[in-house]
């Protein structure tokens, strides 16, 4: 059995991959975002490639929570989401419906089309953080307006 070393993301200092990913991205979306991932992001942890890349990101970060309803409604999860909103993350509220665990309720990941619509809106500066829990304002800085939004979505978000 092959062993994988987590420190491999930090091995090549001349081109640190987690830093490069965070700097090169136009937008980072985490979908589905588990309660664990949200908690780690809120705590500023960088114990894996995703979290390290997000900490180094200079672009908008979008989080789409998806989990069991009870986990989503838990005070700890709500406070972690509030923390992310205060830091400028965009939050896409989960859908309501059948969940992976067999329950039904709020916590289902939105359909890909809805996620895509939200991403395009964020990139085109049309989406305020309307889904922020507890009515917290969105402190995300103004995004640069794409010069050709249609071309942006066809070439960068949906490569040929």
- Give the largest CA-CA distance in the chain: 50
DSSP label of 101: T
Phi, psi of 10, deg, nearest 5 = -110, 5
Which residues does the annotation mark as catalytic? 101
What is d(CA 143, CA 95) in angstroms, rounded to the nearest whole number? Answer: 26
What is d(CA 153, CA 137) in angstroms, rounded to the nearest whole number? Answer: 27
Distance from the first to the final alpha carbon of the chain: 37
Burial profile 117-153: b = 16 or more Cβ within 10 angstroms, e = fewer: ebbbebbeeebebebbeeeeebebeebeebeeeeebb
């Amino acid at each position: 059995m092959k062993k994988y070393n987590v420190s491999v993301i930090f091995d090549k200092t001349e081109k640190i991959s987690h830093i490069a990913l965070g700097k090169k991205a136009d937008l980072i979306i985490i979908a589905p975002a588990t309660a664990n991932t949200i908690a780690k992001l809120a705590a500023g942890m960088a114990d894996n490639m995703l979290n390290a890349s997000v900490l180094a990101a200079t672009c908008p970060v979008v989080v789409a929570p998806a989990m069991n309803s009870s986990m989503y409604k838990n005070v700890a999860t709500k406070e972690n989401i509030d923390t992310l909103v205060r830091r400028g993350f965009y939050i896409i509220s989960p859908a309501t419906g059948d969940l992976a665990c067999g329950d039904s309720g709020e916590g289902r990941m939105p359909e890909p089309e809805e996620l895509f619509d939200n991403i395009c809106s964020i990139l085109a500066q049309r989406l305020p953080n309307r889904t922020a829990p507890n009515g917290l304002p969105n402190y995300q800085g103004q995004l640069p307006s794409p010069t050709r939004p249609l071309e942006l979505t066809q070439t960068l978000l949906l490569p040929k």
